[in-house]
């Protein structure tokens, strides 16, 4: 399911409007609507490893606005160094 695990942000429905003609402010007669189709606006989801308060680490889908607001703490990944 395409939703944020923190804020439960989901896809919303909108419309895509196609127009033809030249705008009035650029000297045309005006834009005319030739078709309206429904579309979905998907949230900007990122798969991140999150450390929970009890110490467990899980990979969950989090929206970018929750990541920017620091609503989750990312798990620290330790990279192995060649010795």
What is the predicted pLDDT for the residue at 41? 96
Spell out the domains of the chain, with CATH numbers in brackets: 12-68 (2.20.150.30)
Retrieve residue 76's tokens. Answer: 């620290």
What is the predicted pLDDT for the residue at 11? 96
Per residue in 38-80, pLDDT tens? Answer: 999 999 999 999 988 888 899 999 999 999 999 988 888 777 7
In this model, does residue 15 exceed pLDDT 70? yes
* Entry pTM: 0.69
Residue predicted with more confidence, 79 or 2: 2
Q: Token match 């929206």: residue?
A: 63
CA distance 33 to 54: 55
Q: How confident is the model at residue 24 (pLDDT cuts 50, 70, 90)?
A: very high
């Amino acid at each position: 399911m395409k939703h944020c695990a923190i804020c439960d942000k989901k896809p919303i429905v909108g419309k895509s409007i196609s127009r033809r003609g030249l705008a009035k402010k650029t000297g045309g007669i005006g834009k005319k609507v030739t078709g309206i189709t429904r579309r979905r606006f998907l949230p900007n989801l990122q798969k991140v490893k999150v450390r929970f308060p009890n110490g467990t680490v899980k990979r969950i889908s989090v929206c970018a606005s929750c990541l920017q607001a620091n609503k989750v703490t990312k798990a620290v990944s330790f990279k192995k160094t060649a010795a």
